[in-house]
Amino acid sequence: MVLSLTCAVQNYDWGIKGGCEVSALGELNTGVDSDPSKPYAELWMGTHPSGPSVVSATGVGLKETIAADPAAHLGAKTVERFGDDLPFLTKVLSVAKALSIQAHPDKTLAAQLHADRPNVYKDANHKPEMTLAVTEFEALCGFVAGDELAANLRAVPELRAVVGDVVAADFENSTGNKDELAKVFTALMTADSDAVAAQVDTLAARLKQKDDKTKTPVDHLAQRLNEQYPQDVGVLCAYVLNYLTLKPGQCIYLAANEPHAYLAGECVECMATSDNVVRAGLTPKLRDTAILCDMLTYNAGAPVVLDGESVDTNTTRYVPPFDEFMLEIVTVGTNESYTVSPSPGPCVYLVMKGGGVVGDTEAKRGSVLFAAAGDATAIAAGDEGATLYRAMINSRVYA
| Percentage, residues of the chain above pLDDT 90 | 90
Q: Is the separation of the CB atoms in 101 and 263 below 8 Å?
A: no
Q: Taking the domains of the chain in order of start, what are their residue ranges?
A: 8-141+245-282, 145-238, 309-398
Query: How far is residue 229's CA from residue 241's CA, in Å, rounded to a whole number?
Result: 17
Residue 208 burial (C-beta neighbours within 10 Å; 0-12, 13-18, 19+): exposed
Please check the confidence at residue 159 and state whether its pLDDT lies above 80.
yes
Please check the confidence at residue 12 and state whether its pLDDT lies above 90.
yes
Query: How far is residue 329's CA from residue 128's CA, in Å, rounded to a whole number?
Result: 20
Secondary structure (DSSP) of 127-156: --EEEEESS-EEEEEEEPPHHHHHHHHHH-
Please check the confidence at residue 1 and state whether its pLDDT lies above 80.
no
**390 bridge partner residues:** 328, 349
Query: How far is residue 340's CA from residue 315's CA, in Å, rounded to a whole number?
Result: 8
Q: How confident is the model at residue 107 (pLDDT cuts 50, 70, 90)?
A: confident
The closest alpha carbon to 393, from 343, 336, 350, belongs to 343
DSSP 80: H
What pLDDT is stored for residue 398 in this prediction? 75
What pLDDT is stored for residue 14 in this prediction? 97
In CATH, what is the architecture of 145-238? Orthogonal Bundle (1.10)
DSSP 234: H
What pLDDT is stored for residue 95 in this prediction? 98
Read off the pLDDT of residues 233-283 as tens digits, 9 standing for 90 and up: 999 999 999 999 999 999 999 999 999 999 999 999 999 988 889 999 999
- Does residue 160 carry a catalytic annotation? no
Please check the confidence at residue 399 and state whether its pLDDT lies above 80.
no
Q: Please state, in angstroms and as integers, the Cα–Cα distance from residue 220 to each residue in 204, 214, 217, 223, 277, following that order.
A: 10, 10, 5, 5, 27
User: Which residues, 6+ apart, have CB-to-CB distance to 126 below 8 Å?
Assistant: 104, 105, 106, 107, 110, 256, 272, 274, 276
Q: Is the separation of the CB atoms in 148 and 118 below 8 Å?
A: no
* 3-class SS shares of the chain: helix, strand, coil, % to 5: 30, 30, 40
281-10-257 Cα angle (round to 5): 35
Read off the pLDDT of residues 85-102 as tens digits, 9 standing for 90 and up: 999 999 999 999 999 999
Q: How confident is the model at residue 332 (pLDDT cuts 50, 70, 90)?
A: very high
3-state secondary structure of 314: coil
Q: Which of 279, 287, 317, 390 is catalytic?
A: 279
Work out the average pLDDT over 112-128.
86
What pLDDT is stored for residue 286 in this prediction? 87
Q: What is the largest CA-CA distance in the chain?
A: 67
Query: How far is residue 390's CA from residue 348's CA, in Å, rounded to a whole number?
Result: 6
Task: Estimate the crossing angle of helix 165-173 against helix 146-155, to 10 degrees.
Answer: 150
The closest alpha carbon to 292, from 283, 301, 302, 304, belongs to 283
8-141+245-282 and 145-238 have identical folds? no
Residue 61 burial (C-beta neighbours within 10 Å; 0-12, 13-18, 19+): middle
CATH topology of domain 8-141+245-282: Jelly Rolls (2.60.120)
Dihedral sign (CA 30, 376, 76, 252): negative
What pLDDT is stored for residue 239 in this prediction? 98
Query: How far is residue 127's CA from residue 279's CA, in Å, rounded to a whole number?
Result: 14
In CATH, what is the architecture of 309-398? Sandwich (2.60)
Q: What is the mean pLDDT of the chain?
A: 95
Work out the average pLDDT over 333-355.
96
Alpha-helical (H) ranges within 128-229 are 146-155, 157-163, 165-173, 178-189, 193-209, 217-228
Work out the average pLDDT over 193-210.
97
Q: How confident is the model at residue 104 (pLDDT cuts 50, 70, 90)?
A: very high
Please check the confidence at residue 354 and state whether its pLDDT lies above 80.
yes
Read off the pLDDT of residues 53-87 as tens digits, 9 standing for 90 and up: 999 999 999 999 999 999 999 999 999 999 999 99
Query: How far is residue 154's CA from residue 104's CA, in Å, rounded to a whole number?
Result: 30
Q: How confident is the model at residue 175 (pLDDT cuts 50, 70, 90)?
A: confident
| Percentage, residues of the chain above pLDDT 70 | 100
User: Which residues, 6+ apart, have CB-to-CB distance to 399 below 8 Å?
Assistant: none
Query: How far is residue 74's CA from residue 393's CA, in Å, rounded to a whole number?
Result: 10
